C-alpha cells in the first residue's frame, strides 16, 4: 500500500532513532508537522528562532552523541539556519537539517518564501540536496543520516518540496545505503602508522597536539594510555581540551592565540610534533613559517582533506584517532623525556596562567567557583573573552564536558546549545557561560527553556563591552572603542576610553529580564558571593527553575597571553 | 608554501545528477582555486558523467584540490592526468572577418600549416574548425590575432582520455 511522503519522512526519522526535533513552523512544513502531531515517539521542540534551533540541535548532538535534527520552513526559515550549519561543519557536529521547499512547479519562479537554500549552503554543509521526486525520498533521508554521522561528522541539509511531502509512493524505507562516491576511512595504513610511531619514539623533545577528533572518536582513554607509557607531554586545541585529564602530569595546556605560554613554547621547541584530530587552524598555528619550525610533523586525521592543507606534514596518516592510538598502544615503549618535561615546567613557572586579583571579581574566581560547585555538569560557552577564560581556568573532565563554538566562533551559540543539551540530558545541570554581547544574540531562547521545563544556569560575565574586540582596540587601535561599548548612547563623549559614573544605565536590566520569564536573577559583585549564587542556581536547576547569574567584571580585563593574528605563536603579549 | 604554478589536468567521474556541476565549480570559486577550463559529458553509463578539468596551481594546492574533490559525495573517482600518457583535444572555432582576398589566402595557408579545416566561407569571412591540442590551439589563436584584426574565437575546453601506447597533449 502506498503512503504519503510525509508519512515516509516520519517513518524514516523513527527508523533512524530520532526522539527529538528542534523546529520552527512555516507554510512549507505544515504537512510534516501534521504528521508529527500524530506521532508520540518524537518530541518536537519549538525554538524561538531557526538559528537557535540549529544550535540547540548541536547541543543535543554533543550531549547524546546522536545526530541532531532540525525542521524549518522554506525561505527565511531556511536562511536562518545557515550560521548554525556553518558552525556545525567547522566543529564536526552531526546534524540533519530539513527544510520545506515550495512545490516543484514553483521552484525558480521566485515564489513566496522560495530560496535556493541548497545553493546557499553548498560550501558550508557536508552535503545538501533538494529531493527530486517522491521515489527517492526514502533514499535521501537515509543518505542524510548516514553522511552526517560517518567519517568526519557534519551537517547535511535535505530540502523537501511540499508536493513531494504529500505525494503517494512506496512505503519502504531503505535499511542500508551504498554511495559509490563516499567511503569514510575506517581502517588505518599500518606501515604509515609504524613509520609515525618510530619517528615519535626517536624524538628527544616529543609533543602531542590533540584536537577535537580525539573526543569525536572517543579516544581519550587510548590517548591517556599512550601518553602514560611513552611519557610524552600533551597540548590541546580549544576543541581538543579534555582529550586527556587536565590533572595529568603530562598535560601542558591549550595552545594557540590565547594558549598557555608553556604550550606555545613547547610547540616551537619540540623536535617531533604528533598531531591528532586537528586541522591546524590559523588560531593554533599563528605564523605558519614559524610554526613548530624545529619539528618533524606527524598528522593523524580521519579527513584526508585536512592533511597538509595548512601545515605541510612529514608523515600523514589517514585514520580514525581511536583506531590509530589503540594500534600505537600495542607498540608503545617508554621514552626518556624527563629533561624535556622539566624544561616545559620551567616555562610554566616563568609565565603561569594567573589573573590579577586587585580589581574586584576576576573571571578566574568565577571559573574557580563553577569548578567547585559543579564537578558534574554540562558546560557550554558562547564566543569571546569569557570563552577563553573558561578554556583557561575551567578544566574539562569526564563528568564535565564543555561545548563551545571553536571553528566558526559563533556569538549566540552558547545559550541555545545549553538549552539543547538540557533537553537531551534533563538530569544534568547545564551551565551556559556567556558574555553580555553574545547572550543578547539568542536570549529569546529563554522561552524555549521555560516552556520545555528545561532549566539552564546562565553565568553571564558582564563587562559592558564586546570585550574581545575591545581588547584588540586597546592593544592595536589606540583605545578607539568604536561600537564595542554596549551602554554607549548618543550623548556620550566622542572619545570615551572607558566607563565612569557618568555612563548611562546599562540596558537591558538582566534582572528584570529574568523576572519577566519567571526565572531567578542574581547579580554578583564580590568574590565572597560567588559560591552562594552558584549554589542557589544549582538548587534552582534541580527544582526545575532557570537562573541567570550576572557577574559584573572590570571592563578592561584582558585575555592573556595573546598572540597577534599572523605572528609566530611564541611571540606572546603577556601583560 | 607557495610553489611553482603549473597547468594540470584532472579527469573526474561524477554522479550524473542535478547540482553536481555547480558543486564542483563552486568548490573552485569557494576555495580560490584557479580554474582554467572544465568540460563535462555523460559516459557510457547514463548515470555517470566525466569531467575534464584544467587548473593552474602549485603542487600543494593541487594535492588539496584532489583531496577536496575526492571528499565530495557525488564524486566517484578522481584521476590525475598531469603525468600520465593521454590524448587531449579541444574543439575550437575561429571566425576571421572583414578580410581581403589576399588575407583569405593567408588564412588558408595558416589552416594548412596547422592542419585545421575551413568549414564555412563568405565574401569577406572564413570559419576555421580545429580539434588540436589545447597548446596548439593557443598557438593558432596567437597567430590569428597577430595577423588579423577582426576575429571571434570560440573554444570548447579540453577533453582527454588516458592513452594506451602513445600520448598526445
Q: What is the DSSP string of A168-236?
A: EE-----S----TT-----S--HHHHHHHHHHHHT-SSEEEEE-HHHHHTT-HHHHHHHHHHHT--EEE
Over the stretch B87-102, which tens digit does the pLDDT of each residue have? 999 999 999 999 999 9
Where does the pLDDT of residue B162 fall: very low under 50, low under 70, confident under 90, or very high at 90 and above? very high
Residues of A in contact with B75 (CB under 8 A): 181
Over the stretch A59-114, which tens digit does the pLDDT of each residue have? 999 999 999 999 999 999 999 999 999 999 999 999 999 999 999 999 999 999 99
Residue B1 predicted with pLDDT over 50 = no
- What is the pLDDT, as a whole number, of residue A327? 96
Residue B124 predicted with pLDDT over 60 = yes
The CA-to-CA distance between both ends of chain A, in Å, stands at 72
Over the stretch A268-277, which tens digit does the pLDDT of each residue have? 999 999 999 9
Strand order in the sheet with A127-130: A43-46, A20-23, A68-72, A95-101, A155-161, A127-130
In this complex, which of B19, B64, B70 lies closest to A129 when CB atoms are compared? Answer: B19
Cell triple for A254: 591549550
Q: Mind telling me how many Å the CA of B90 is from chain A's nearest CA?
A: 28
Residue A190: Cβ within 10 Å count: 12
Residues of B in contact with A304 (CB under 8 A): 67, 70-71
**In B77-133, which residue ranges form alpha helices assigned H by DSSP?**
101-114
Interface contact A307, partner B, CB < 8 A = yes
Residue A171 predicted with pLDDT over 90 = yes
Would you call A305 and B68 a contact, using CB atoms and an 8 Å cutoff?
yes
* Catalytic residue status for A50: yes
3-state secondary structure of A323: helix
- State the helix-helix crossing angle for B134-147 and B101-114, rounded to 10 degrees: 160
- What is the pLDDT, as a whole number, of residue A185? 82
Where does the pLDDT of residue B4 fall: very low under 50, low under 70, confident under 90, or very high at 90 and above? confident
Residue A452: Cβ within 10 Å count: 17
Q: How many CB pairs under 8 A join A and B?
A: 45
Average pLDDT estimate for A485-499: 94
Task: Give Cα A413 distance to the centre of its chain.
Answer: 8
Measured CA to CA, the distance from residue A282 to residue A566 in angstroms comes to 8
- A169 in Cβ contact with A2 (< 8 Å): yes
- B53 in Cβ contact with B21 (< 8 Å): no
Average pLDDT estimate for A222-249: 96
Domain B86-162 in this protein, CATH class = alpha beta
In this complex, which of B63, B64, B73 lies closest to A127 when CB atoms are compared? Answer: B73
Compute, in degrees rounded to 10, the torsion defined by CA atoms A446, A450, A452, A454: 80
Over the stretch A42-54, which tens digit does the pLDDT of each residue have? 999 999 999 999 9
Q: Mind telling me how many Å the CA of A220 is from chain B's nearest CA?
A: 27
- A155 in Cβ contact with A126 (< 8 Å): yes
Would you call B71 and A179 a contact, using CB atoms and an 8 Å cutoff?
no
In this complex, which of B15, B60, B68 lies closest to A312 when CB atoms are compared? Answer: B60
Where does the pLDDT of residue A184 fall: very low under 50, low under 70, confident under 90, or very high at 90 and above? confident
In this complex, which of A119, A147, A179 lies closest to B22 when CB atoms are compared? Answer: A119
Residues of B in contact with A288 (CB under 8 A): 1
Over the stretch A129-162, which tens digit does the pLDDT of each residue have? 999 999 999 999 999 999 999 999 999 999 999 9
What is the CATH T-level fold of the domain B6-80, as seen in this structure?
A: Alpha-Beta Plaits (3.30.70)
| Residue to substitute from A121, A159, A180, A282, interface B, most B β-carbons within 10 A | A180
Instruction: Considering only residues A356 and A433, tell me which one the structure prediction assigns the higher pLDDT.
Output: A433
Measured CA to CA, the distance from residue A74 to residue A545 in angstroms comes to 34
Please provide the average confidence, as pLDDT, over all residues in chain B.
93
Cell triple for A235: 597540548
* Catalytic residue status for A162: yes
Q: The whole model's pTM is what?
A: 0.93
Residues of B in contact with A148 (CB under 8 A): none
Structural domains in chain A? Answer: 3-169 (3.40.50.970), 190-350 (3.40.50.1220), 363-562 (3.40.50.970)
Residue A378 predicted with pLDDT over 80 = yes
Residue B38 predicted with pLDDT over 90 = yes
Would you call A147 and B74 a contact, using CB atoms and an 8 Å cutoff?
no
Whose cell is 581588547? That residue is A471
A166's CB contacts (< 8 A; 6+ apart) are A4, A5, A6, A31
Look at A75-89, B1-15, B147-161 and tell me which has the smallest mean pLDDT: B1-15
Measured CA to CA, the distance from residue A520 to residue A297 in angstroms comes to 51
Average pLDDT estimate for B3-12: 90
Q: Of the candidates A370, A531, A527, A392, which has an alpha carbon nearest to the alpha carbon of residue A459?
A: A370
A372's CB contacts (< 8 A; 6+ apart) are A531
Q: Where are the domain boundaries for CATH 3.30.70.1150 in chain B?
A: 86-162
Tell me which residues of chain A, numbers 234 to 293, contact chain B at a CB-CB cutoff of 8 Å: 288
Q: Give me the interface pTM, i.e. the ipTM.
A: 0.83
Q: Where are the domain boundaries for CATH 3.30.70.260 in chain B?
A: 6-80
- A100 in Cβ contact with A160 (< 8 Å): yes
- Choosing from A468, A510, A550, A572, the catalytic residue is A468
Residue A188: Cβ within 10 Å count: 21
Where does the pLDDT of residue A394 fall: very low under 50, low under 70, confident under 90, or very high at 90 and above? very high
Strand partners, A70: A22, A97
Average pLDDT estimate for A458-480: 97
In this complex, which of A118, A147, A304 lies closest to B67 when CB atoms are compared? Answer: A304
> What SS3 string covers B30-83?
HCCCEEEEEEEEECCCCCEEEEEEEEEECHHHHHHHHHHHHCCCCEEEEEECCC
3-state secondary structure of A134: helix
Residues of B in contact with A145 (CB under 8 A): none
Would you call A309 and B64 a contact, using CB atoms and an 8 Å cutoff?
yes
Would you call A179 and B73 a contact, using CB atoms and an 8 Å cutoff?
yes
Binding-site residues on chain B for chain A (CB distance < 8 A): 1, 14-15, 17-19, 22-23, 26-27, 30, 60, 63-64, 67-68, 70-76
- A247 in Cβ contact with A269 (< 8 Å): no
* Catalytic residue status for A113: yes
Average pLDDT estimate for B50-77: 93
Average pLDDT estimate for A5-34: 98
Measured CA to CA, the distance from residue A488 to residue A206 in angstroms comes to 50
What CA–CA distances, in Å, run from A160 to A132, A154, A163, B17? 8, 19, 8, 17
Residues of A in contact with B23 (CB under 8 A): 122
In this complex, which of B18, B26, B71 lies closest to A122 when CB atoms are compared? Answer: B26
Would you call B70 and A304 a contact, using CB atoms and an 8 Å cutoff?
yes
**In A65-97, which residue ranges form alpha helices assigned H by DSSP?**
76-79, 82-90
Please provide the average confidence, as pLDDT, over all residues in chain A.
96
Longest dimension (CA), chain B: 56
Over the stretch A511-539, which tens digit does the pLDDT of each residue have? 999 999 999 999 999 999 999 999 999 99
Interface contact A304, partner B, CB < 8 A = yes
Over the stretch A319-342, which tens digit does the pLDDT of each residue have? 999 999 999 999 999 999 999 999
- What is the pLDDT, as a whole number, of residue A193? 96
In this complex, which of B26, B27, B73 lies closest to A181 when CB atoms are compared? Answer: B73
* Catalytic residue status for A468: yes
Residue B3 predicted with pLDDT over 80 = no
* Closest alpha carbon within chain B to A131: B18
- A137 in Cβ contact with A158 (< 8 Å): no
A572 upstream amide cis, omega within 30 of 0: no
- What is the pLDDT, as a whole number, of residue B167? 82
Residues of A in contact with B73 (CB under 8 A): 127, 147, 179, 181-182
- A5 in Cβ contact with A137 (< 8 Å): yes
Q: Cα dihedral sign for B45, B47, B53, B57?
A: negative
Where does the pLDDT of residue A354 fall: very low under 50, low under 70, confident under 90, or very high at 90 and above? confident
Q: Mind telling me how many Å the CA of B53 is from chain A's nearest CA?
A: 18
Q: Mind telling me how many Å the CA of B24 is from chain A's nearest CA?
A: 10
Residue A183 predicted with pLDDT over 90 = no
- What is the pLDDT, as a whole number, of residue B2? 57
What CA–CA distances, in Å, run from B117 to A447, B105, B148? 74, 14, 18
Residue A318 predicted with pLDDT over 70 = yes
A508 upstream amide cis, omega within 30 of 0: yes
Amino acid at each position: 500500500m502506498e503512503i504519503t511522503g510525509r508519512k515516509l519522512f516520519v517513518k524514516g526519522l523513527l527508523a533512524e532513532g530520532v526522539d527529538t526535533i528542534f523546529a520552527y513552523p512555516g507554510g512549507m512544513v505544515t504537512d510534516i508537522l501534521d504528521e508529527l502531531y500524530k506521532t508520540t515517539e518524537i518530541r518536537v521542540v519549538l525554538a524561538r528562532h531557526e538559528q537557535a534551533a540549529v544550535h540547540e540541535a548541536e547541543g543535543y548532538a554533543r550531549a547524546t552523541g546522536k545526530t541532531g535534527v532540525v525542521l524549518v520552513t522554506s525561505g527565511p526559515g531556511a536562511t536562518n539556519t545557515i550560521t548554525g550549519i556553518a558552525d556545525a561543519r567547522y566543529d564536526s557536529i552531526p546534524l540533519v537539517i530539513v527544510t520545506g521547499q515550495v512545490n516543484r512547479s514553483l521552484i525558480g519562479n521566485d515564489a513566496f518564501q522560495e530560496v535556493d537554500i541548497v545553493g546557499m549552503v553548498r560550501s558550508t554543509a557536508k552535503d545538501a540536496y533538494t529531493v527530486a521526486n517522491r521515489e527517492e525520498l526514502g533514499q535521501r533521508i537515509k543518505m542524510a543520516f548516514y553522511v552526517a554521522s560517518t567519517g568526519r561528522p557534519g551537517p547535511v541539509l535535505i530540502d523537501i518540496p511540499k508536493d513531494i511531502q504529500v505525494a503517494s509512493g512506496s512505503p519502504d524505507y531503505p535499511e542500508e545505503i551504498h554511495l559509490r562516491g563516499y567511503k569514510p576511512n575506517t581502517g588505518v595504513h599500518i606501515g604509515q602508522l609504524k613509520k609515525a610511531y618510530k619517528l615519535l619514539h626517536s624524538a628527544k623533545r616529543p609533543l602531542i597536539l590533540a584536537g577535537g577528533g580525539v573526543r569525536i572518536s572517543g579516544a581519550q582513554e587510548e590517548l591517556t594510555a599512550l601518553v602514560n607509557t611513552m611519557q610524552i607531554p600533551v597540548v590541546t586545541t580549544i576543541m581538543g581540551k579534555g582529550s586527556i585529564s587536565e590533572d595529568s602530569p603530562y598535560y601542558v595546556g591549550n595552545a594557540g592565540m590565547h594558549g598557555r605560554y608553556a604550550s606555545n613554547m613547547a610547540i616551537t621547541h619540540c623536535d617531533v610534533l604528533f598531531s591528532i584530530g586537528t586541522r591546524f587552524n590559523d588560531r593554533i598555528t599563528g605564523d605558519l613559517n614559524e610554526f613548530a619550525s624545529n619539528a618533524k610533523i606527524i598528522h593523524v586525521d580521519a579527513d584526508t582533506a585536512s592533511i597538509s592543507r595548512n601545515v605541510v606534514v612529514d608523515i600523514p596518516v589517514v585514520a580514525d584517532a581511536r583506531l590509530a592510538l589503540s594500534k600505537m598502544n600495542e607498540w608503545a615503549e617508554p621514552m626518556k623525556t624527563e629533561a624535556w618535561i622539566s624544561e616545559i615546567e620551567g616555562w610554566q613557572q616563568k609565565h603561569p596562567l594567573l589573573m590579577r586579583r586587585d580589581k574586584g571579581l576576576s573571571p578566574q574566581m568565577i571559573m574557580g567557583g563553577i569548578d567547585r560547585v559543579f564537578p558534574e555538569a554540562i558546560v557550554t560557552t558562547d564566543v569571546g573573552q569569557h570563552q577563553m577564560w573558561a578554556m583557561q581556568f575551567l578544566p574539562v573532565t569526564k563528568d564535565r564536558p564543555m561545548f563551545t563554538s571553536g571553528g566558526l566562533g559563533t556569538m549566540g551559540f552558547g545559550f541555545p546549545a545549553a538549552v539543547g543539551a538540557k533537553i537531551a540530558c534533563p538530569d544534568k545541570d547545564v551551565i551556559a557561560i556567556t558574555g553580555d554581547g553574545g547572550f543578547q544574540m539568542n536570549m529569546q531562547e529563554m522561552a524555549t527553556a521555560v516552556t520545555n521545563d528545561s532549566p539552564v544556569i546562565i553565568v553571564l560575565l558582564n563587562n559592558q563591552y564586546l570585550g574581545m574586540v575591545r581588547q584588540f582596540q586597546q592593544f592595536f587601535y589606540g583605545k578607539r572603542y568604536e561600537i564595542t561599548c554596549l551602554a554607549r548612547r548618543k550623548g556620550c563623549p566622542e572619545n570615551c576610553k572607558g566607563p565612569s559614573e557618568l555612563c548611562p544605565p546599562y540596558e537591558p536590566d538582566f534582572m528584570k529580564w529574568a523576572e519577566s520569564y519567571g526565572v531567578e536573577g542574581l547579580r554578583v559583585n564580590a568574590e565572597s558571593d560567588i559560591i552562594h549564587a552558584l549554589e542557589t542556581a544549582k538548587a534552582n536547576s534541580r527544582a526545575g527553575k532557570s537562573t541567570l547569574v550576572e557577574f559584573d567584571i572590570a571592563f578592561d580585563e584582558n585575555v592573556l597571553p595573546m598572540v597577534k593574528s599572523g605572528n609566530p605563536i611564541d611571540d606572546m603579549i603577556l601583560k | 608554501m607557495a610553489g611553482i604554478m603549473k597547468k594540470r589536468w584532472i579527469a573526474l567521474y561524477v554522479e550524473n545528477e542535478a547540482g553536481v556541476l555547480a558543486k564542483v565549480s563552486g568548490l573552485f570559486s569557494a576555495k580560490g582555486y584557479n580554474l582554467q577550463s572544465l568540460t563535462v559529458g555523460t559516459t557510457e553509463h547514463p548515470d555517470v558523467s566525466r569531467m575534464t578539468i584544467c587548473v593552474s596551481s602549485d603542487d600543494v594546492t593541487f594535492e588539496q584540490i584532489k583531496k577536496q574533490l575526492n571528499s565530495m559525495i557525488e564524486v566517484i573517482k578522481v584521476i590525475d592526468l598531469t603525468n600520465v600518457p593521454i590524448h587531449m583535444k579541444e574543439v575550437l572555432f575561429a571566425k576571421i572577418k572583414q578580410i581581403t582576398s589576399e588575407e583569405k589566402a593567408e588564412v588558408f595557408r595558416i589552416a594548412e600549416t596547422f592542419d585545421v579545416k575551413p568549414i564555412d566561407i563568405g565574401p569577406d569571412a572564413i570559419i576555421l574548425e580545429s580539434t588540436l591540442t589545447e597548446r596548439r590551439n593557443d598557438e593558432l589563436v596567437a597567430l590569428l590575432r597577430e595577423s588579423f584584426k577582426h576575429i571571434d574565437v570560440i573554444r570548447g575546453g579540453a577533453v582527454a582520455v588516458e592513452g594506451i601506447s602513445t600520448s598526445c597533449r
